[in-house]
């Protein structure tokens, strides 16, 4: 027993030998179980408060440094991106198709696909999908209208989950779900299956050594059933149908099929610049991105497998995160009615004679963007980012060396809620992000979509999807605090993203 205990804990003095503080790890699981048994936002706050901007944890038996210092964040994500070019993918898929998605691709393969796909998400391309997203609002408005008439409260997470499901189904898979979970819609059933948490599988993953997880992922056969297979098979059939018929549609799948590196149509415009603060995008960052992606490629178009992989990861990454952001935003508006009133006034002023808001006008609404920014600061979907050192690396003036293959994580939630950067950090204050106040923000203390060449490529789509919903819903309805509205919010236990308990608010129709 003594020998076994020594073997399981042999690396657990790694950080203490280097003078780095951190929580005490447990045999086999390291610090993972502490994240699993306590809601992650609360655990992140506890550790950041106790150990500071830099501390060490253990992913099972492997030491991992956590950084919540803006200068180091910029260094890792931008300045020295070439030394931290990859994300940490412990249980990555080795499936022939799924391994081609941008999250998992590395090296020149990643550079090629990223350079081809990036133009798909410029404002010019997003505008083509604007009408498709608007179509998905009708069912959302109808449900809210019924709730307001009947005096019902609204479960924000459930309702916005239906909306984001419909948007992604429409824009990525040319499928209408009508936001209806009660129907036996195959898309909805498979989507729910993809996001079902399986406690036994989670427990086994927690207790499984890292090297064994990697081996199991490599040996795992390609799926022939289940959610992943369903979406890939459906998308492949849709591609073939369009090729045969010549039909084209203004959706994500069509944009991927038409995407090409170095297209003259894909230059960023003013509307892209308006939202650049979400990824700390300035001249230095753009220069690093251009240098990183400036490679000569023979094949400037995506292969069919690459299109399938991007479509699937677009769904997996975009469904729950955007729904969660809209849920948090609704909650904050309900308990801060003065902010809701200011937002309503801005939206009403932007509506044209037909009661519509143009794509350009929506993108330029400063208070709407500030409300969304403050929501993402206080409630970031991803609580941390991970990067892997490509070579031994001395980390600034910390005296620490990260060795090749070692993972460093960016404490997104920790830096977002640090009083040093955001006075009264847990007060919801959109004015922090108004254009006239942004110069006061410390760069790289706001990173909800990451930063640098590996920032979230779907950021502008996520912002558009959220802004359309907020603008059209706010113009018609008011959200109110009701007895069932939990203050403060509770959080689900789990990994990867911040998920609140059920958020219940009242719905009133505006005059």
Residue set of the binding site for heme: 456
**Nearest CA among 185, 183, 142 for reference residue 163:** 142
First to last CA, the chain: 72
For residue 198, cis peptide bond before it (omega within 30 degrees of 0): no
DSSP annotation of 26: B
Quote the CA–CA distance of 410 and 390 in Å, as a whole number: 16
Distance CA 413, CA 499 (A): 13
Q: Which of 34, 64, 100 is nearest to 387 (CA)?
A: 64
Q: What is the CA radius of gyration of the chain?
A: 23
- In the structure encoding, which two tokens stand for residue 272, read together? 């892209």
Q: What is the DSSP letter of 486?
A: -
Asked if 322 and 494 touch (Cβ cutoff 8 Å), the reply is: no
User: β-pairing, 62-67 with 407-411?
Assistant: parallel
Contact yes or no for 456/486 (Cβ under 8 A) = no
Q: Which of 89, 77, 161, 29 minimizes the C-alpha distance to 412?
A: 77
Q: What is the 3-state secondary structure (H, E, C) of 283-339?
A: HHHHHHHHHHHCCCCCCCCCCHHHHHHHHHHHHHHHHHHHHHHHHHHHHHHHHCHHH
CA-CA-CA-CA torsion sign (24, 29, 34, 39):
positive
**Contacts for 202 with CB less than 8 Å, ≥ 6 apart:** 36
- Round to whole Å and give the CA distance between 358 and 376: 24
Structural contact between residues 255 and 267, judged by C-beta atoms closer than 8 angstroms: no
| In 118-261, alpha helices (H) | 123-135, 137-150, 156-173, 186-194, 199-207, 210-219, 226-245, 252-258
Residue 47 neighbours by CB under 8 Å, 6+ apart: 22, 23, 55, 57, 66, 414
Q: What is the 3-state secondary structure (H, E, C) of 81-92?
A: HHHCCECCCCCC
Q: Which residues are annotated as a binding site?
A: 456
Q: How many CA atoms lie within 13 A of 49 on its CB side?
A: 8
Tokens, residue 460: 């502008």
């Amino acid at each position: 027993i003594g020998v076994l205990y020594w073997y399981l804990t042999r690396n657990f003095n790694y950080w203490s030998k280097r003078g780095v503080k951190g929580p005490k790890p447990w045999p086999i699981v390291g610090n993972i179980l502490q994240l699993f048994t306590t809601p992650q936002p609360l655990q992140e706050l506890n550790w950041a408060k106790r150990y500071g901007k830099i501390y060490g944890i253990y992913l099972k038996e492997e030491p991992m440094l956590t950084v919540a210092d803006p200068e180091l964040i910029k260094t890792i994500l931008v300045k020295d991106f070439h030394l931290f070019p990859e994300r940490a993918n412990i249980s990555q898929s080795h499936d022939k198709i799924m391994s081609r998605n941008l999250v998992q691709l590395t090296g020149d393969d990643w550079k090629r696909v990223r350079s081809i796909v990036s133009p798909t998400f410029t404002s010019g391309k997003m505008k083509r999908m604007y009408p498709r997203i608007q179509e998905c609002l009708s069912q959302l408005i109808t449900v809210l209208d019924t709730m307001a008439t009947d005096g019902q409260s609204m479960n924000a997470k459930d309702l916005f989950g239906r909306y984001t499901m419909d948007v992604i189904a429409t824009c990525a898979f040319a499928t209408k779900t009508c936001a209806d979970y009660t129907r036996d819609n195959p898309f909805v059933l498979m989507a729910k299956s993809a996001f079902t948490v399986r406690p036994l599988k989670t427990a086994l993953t927690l207790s499984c050594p890292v090297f064994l997880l990697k081996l199991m992922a490599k040996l795992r056969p390609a799926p022939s059933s289940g959610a992943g297979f369903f979406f890939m098979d459906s998308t492949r059939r849709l591609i073939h149908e369009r090729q045969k018929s010549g039909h084209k549609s203004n959706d994500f799948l069509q944009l991927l099929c038409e995407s090409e590196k170095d297209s003259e149509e894909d230059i960023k415009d003013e509307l892209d610049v308006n939202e650049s603060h979400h990824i700390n995008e300035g001249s230095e960052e753009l220069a690093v991105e251009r240098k990183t992606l400036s490679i000569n490629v023979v094949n400037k178009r995506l292969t069919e497998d690459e299109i399938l992989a991007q479509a699937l990861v677009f769904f997996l990454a975009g469904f729950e995160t955007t729904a969660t952001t809209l849920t948090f935003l609704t909650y904050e508006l309900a308990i801060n009615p003065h902010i809701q009133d200011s937002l309503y006034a801005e939206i009403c002023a932007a509506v044209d004679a037909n009661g519509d808001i143009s794509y350009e006008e929506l993108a330029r609404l400063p208070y709407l963007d500030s409300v969304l920014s403050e929501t993402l600061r206080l409630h970031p979907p991803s609580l941390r980012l991970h990067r892997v050192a490509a070579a031994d690396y001395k980390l600034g003036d910390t005296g620490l060396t990260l060795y090749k293959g070692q993972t460093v994580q960016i404490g997104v939630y920790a830096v977002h809620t640090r009083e040093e950067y955001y006075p009264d950090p847990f007060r919801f204050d959109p004015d922090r992000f108004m254009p006239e106040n942004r110069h006061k923000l410390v760069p790289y203390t706001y990173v909800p979509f990451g930063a640098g060449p590996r920032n979230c490529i779907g950021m502008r789509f996520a912002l558009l999807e959220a802004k359309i919903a907020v603008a059209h819903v706010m113009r018609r309805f008011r959200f109110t605090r009701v007895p069932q509205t939990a203050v403060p919010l509770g959080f689900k236990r789990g990994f990867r993203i911040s998920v609140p308990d059920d958020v219940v608010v009242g719905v009133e129709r505006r005059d």
